[in-house]
Amino acid sequence: MHRSAEAMVAQDEQPRHAGEAIVAQEEQLRRAAEAFRVEWLGRKQGRLNEVSSRWLKAAPPEAKKLVGQRFNEFKAKLEDLVDAALDTHLDPSDAALRAQSIDITLPGTRRLIGAEHPITRTMNEIVQVFAALGYSVGVGPEVETDFYNFESMNFPPGHPARDTQDTLIIAGQERKPLRDRLLLRTHTSPVQMRTMELEPPPVRIVIPGKVHRNDAADATHSPIFHQVEGLCVDTHITFSDLKGTLDHAMKALFGSSVKTRFFPSFFPFTEPSADVQITCIFCGGKGCRKCKQSGWIELLGCGMVDPAVFAFAQEKQPAYDPKKISGFAFGMGVERIAMMKYGISEIGQFYSGDMRFLGQFA
């Protein structure tokens, strides 16, 4: 038989009435707990004040210490009971608020904003200059093989740079073939070869990174420092392209009034090679102590990629035929440029972690 509509409605109303009764009971208990708190812990008329007057004021001097301890124990237990009662029958929104361990009415904690380290900032500025010319960023490992660090860069086996007085060699490599021995890279040039092995020409990359050399630390030298190197390979690349590129980069870094000049030099991986000087940014080329009265400061090295380097790249990328392509490469020390830009005379300040020094760049 089907139940009547009235019976169904009455049965459905039962859970609602039960819920309302529970809510009413919880509200009654909450009010009772709040009334108990006011009765005992009220600031002006709370019974605890009366107990304090009767116990402490009436106690003889020799008993005041003991009575005070007993009173504090009684007060602590009473406060715990009141808190437990209120937490049990507290409104959910109020309970969530009281559960927070901080006072939300207080002002928030100010988070200090950090700033780029001057080395990082300078390196990013250099990269951005070449990125605007269409160069991409190349990266590679700091622990390199002798092949990528020296052999592929046209360093002969007896070259002084391979000596342990100049290069930090990983221990336990004596039994390996020379080209497989591991070392800490002395320049970012290995990334040039790694890139050419993976990508056919044209290639335009700029390579920022950390390098290591066995140098004694002094005002201008450190065994750990940073470089930015660049490589451009395509058809019909000439020395004029190299000069124009670096002249533009120096003006972008130091101002449009800066002039550049090139002097013959030697690097195993470029031919011809050149050292690049810029007019002194401190005296404008007039001559001062920082430029040794010459008006010029030597800043970086460069040159046209040696065909022998392309020959190594041809082993994996036949497109690097020195008869069909050409290219140039350059490299500069980031610390040296940062010291010039910010007027820093001691390279060790970059690595000291002195927040008084670093805070100047925030």
* pLDDT tens profile 241-273: 999 999 999 999 999 999 999 999 999 999 999
Q: Do 167 and 92 fall within a single domain?
A: no
Whether 103 is in a domain gets the answer no
Q: What is the pLDDT of residues 156-190, one digit of tens each?
A: 887 777 776 688 889 988 889 888 999 999 999 99
Separation of alpha carbons 269 and 156, rounded Å: 11
Whether 22 is in a domain gets the answer yes
Q: Contact 231/329 with Cβ under 8 angstroms?
A: yes
Q: Which of 34, 64, 98 is the last residue of a domain?
A: 98
341 forms beta bridges with none
Q: Do 185 and 315 fall within a single domain?
A: yes
Q: Do 169 and 235 fall within a single domain?
A: yes
Q: Which of 98, 131, 154 is the last residue of a domain?
A: 98
Q: What is the pLDDT of residues 30-77, one digit of tens each?
A: 777 777 777 766 666 667 677 777 767 777 777 778 877 887 887 788
Whether 82 is in a domain gets the answer yes
Q: Do 61 and 165 fall within a single domain?
A: no
Q: Contact 170/181 with Cβ under 8 angstroms?
A: yes
Separation of alpha carbons 179 and 146, rounded Å: 5
Residues counted in the chain:
362
Tell me the three state secondary structure of residue 273: strand
Q: Whole-prediction pTM value?
A: 0.67
Total domain count, the chain: 2
Q: Which of 43, 70, 98 is the last residue of a domain?
A: 98
Residue 318 has pLDDT above 80, yes or no: yes
Separation of alpha carbons 292 and 269, rounded Å: 30
Q: Do 134 and 86 fall within a single domain?
A: no
For residue 35, the enclosing domain spans 5-98
- Residue at 191: amino acid letter: V
**What CATH number does the domain containing 331 carry?**
3.30.930.10
Separation of alpha carbons 154 and 148, rounded Å: 10
- Residue at 180: amino acid letter: D
Q: Which DSSP string corresponds to 217-271?
A: --SS--SEEEEEEEEEEETT--HHHHHHHHHHHHHHHH-TT--EEEEEEEETTEE
Whether 76 is in a domain gets the answer yes
Q: Do 93 and 135 fall within a single domain?
A: no
Q: Contact 295/287 with Cβ under 8 angstroms?
A: yes
Residue 234 — very low, low, confident or very high, per pLDDT cuts 50/70/90?
Answer: very high
Whether 244 is in a domain gets the answer yes
